[in-house]
Amino acid sequence: MEITTKKITSLRVEHITKRFPGVLASDDISLSIGEGEILALVGENGAGKTTLMNILMGLYQPDEGRIIINGEEVRFRSPNDAFAAGLGMVHQQYMLVPNMTVLENIALGYKQAWSLFKLDLAMVRERIEEISKKYGLHVDPDAFIWQLSVGEQQRVELVKTLCLGARFLILDEPTSALTPQETDELIILLKRMASELSIIFISHKLQEVKDLSDTITILRHGAVVFQGNTTDHSPSDIAALMTGHEVELPLNEEPPCDGEIVLNIKDLKVKSDRGFLALNKLNLSIRSGEIVGLAGVSGNGQRELAEAINGLRKVESGEILFYGEDLANRSPHHVIEAGMGYIPEERNTEGIVPSFSIKENLILKDASHPEFSKHTFLRNKEIDKNATDLRIKFDIRSPNISIAAGSLSGGNIQKVILAREISRKPKFLIAVYPIRGLDLGAAEFIHRQLLEKRKEGIGILLVSEELDEILDLSDRVAVIFKGEIQQVLNRKDANRRSLGILMAGVKDDQNI
Partner 1 sequence: MTKTFKITYKVTIIILAILAAMTIGAIILLTIGADVLKTYSVILFEPLKTTLQLSEVLIRAIPLTIIALGIAVAYRSGIINIGAEGQMAMGILGTTAIALLFPELPKPILLPLAILAGAICGGLWGFIPGILKAKLQVSELLSTVMLNYIAAQFYTFFLRGPMLDPAESSLGGSGTPQSMRLSKNLWLERLPGTRLHTGIFFAIILAIVIYLLLWKTSTGMKMRAAGASERAARYGGISVTTYLVVAMVISGAFAGMAGAIEIAGVHRRAIEGVTGGYGFSAIVVALFGGLHPAGIIPASFFFGLLIVGADMTQRMVGVPANMVNVLQGIIILVIVATKMVLADPYLMEKVWRKYQKITNPPKEVEA
Cβ atoms of residues 242 and 440 within 8 Å:
yes
- Cβ closer to partner 1: 64 or 73? 64
Identify residue 186 by its one-letter amino acid code.
L
What is the greatest pairwise CA distance in the chain? 73
**Burial degree of 304 (CB within 10 A; 0-12, 13-18, 19+):** buried
- Cβ closer to partner 1: 135 or 372? 372
- Cβ closer to partner 1: 110 or 372? 372
**Measured from the CB of residue 329, what is the shortest distance to partner 1 in angstroms?**
14
d(CA 489, CA 293): 10
**Measured from the CB of residue 223, what is the shortest distance to partner 1 in angstroms?**
12
d(CA 306, CA 58): 41
Handedness of CA 81, 90, 39, 41 (dihedral sign): positive
- Cβ closer to partner 1: 132 or 310? 310
**Measured from the CB of residue 20, what is the shortest distance to partner 1 in angstroms?**
8
Backbone phi, then psi, for 277, in 5-degree steps?
Answer: -75, 110
**Measured from the CB of residue 356, what is the shortest distance to partner 1 in angstroms?**
6
**Measured from the CB of residue 87, what is the shortest distance to partner 1 in angstroms?**
18
**Measured from the CB of residue 53, what is the shortest distance to partner 1 in angstroms?**
15
Cβ atoms of residues 406 and 354 within 8 Å:
yes
Cβ atoms of residues 65 and 46 within 8 Å:
no
- Cβ closer to partner 1: 70 or 407? 407
433: three-class secondary structure by DSSP: coil
Residue-wise DSSP of 291-329 = EEEEE--TTSSHHHHHHHHTTSS-EEEEEEEETTEE-TT
- Cβ closer to partner 1: 117 or 377? 377
- Cβ closer to partner 1: 216 or 352? 352
114: three-class secondary structure by DSSP: strand
- Give, for 132, the enclosing helix (H) or strand (E): helix 121-135
- Give, for 272, the enclosing helix (H) or strand (E): none
Rg (C-alpha) for the chain, rounded Å, is 24
**Measured from the CB of residue 486, what is the shortest distance to partner 1 in angstroms?**
28
**Measured from the CB of residue 200, what is the shortest distance to partner 1 in angstroms?**
22
Q: Which residues bind partner 1 (CB under 8 A)?
A: 17, 21, 28, 59-61, 64, 310, 312, 331-333, 335-337, 342, 344, 346, 349-356, 360, 364-365, 367-368, 372-373, 376-378
**Measured from the CB of residue 140, what is the shortest distance to partner 1 in angstroms?**
31
- Cβ closer to partner 1: 125 or 271? 271
Listed residue (401, 458, 78, 114) closest to 263, CA to CA = 458
- Cβ closer to partner 1: 225 or 378? 378
**Measured from the CB of residue 361, what is the shortest distance to partner 1 in angstroms?**
8
Which pairing describes strands 10-20 and 23-34: parallel, antiparallel, or unpaired? Answer: antiparallel
Which pairing describes strands 215-220 and 38-42: parallel, antiparallel, or unpaired? Answer: parallel
Listed residue (498, 497, 450) closest to 475, CA to CA = 450
Q: What is the DSSP letter of 256?
A: P
**Measured from the CB of residue 397, what is the shortest distance to partner 1 in angstroms?**
21
Q: Alpha helix (H) ranges present in 368-431?
A: 380-393, 410-423
**Measured from the CB of residue 178, what is the shortest distance to partner 1 in angstroms?**
23
- Cβ closer to partner 1: 144 or 356? 356
- Cβ closer to partner 1: 151 or 332? 332
- Cβ closer to partner 1: 14 or 152? 14
Handedness of CA 437, 394, 389, 333 (dihedral sign): positive
Identify residue 273 by its one-letter amino acid code.
D
Contacts of 492 by beta carbon, 8 Å cutoff, 6+ apart: none
d(CA 311, CA 309): 6
Contacts of 234 by beta carbon, 8 Å cutoff, 6+ apart: none
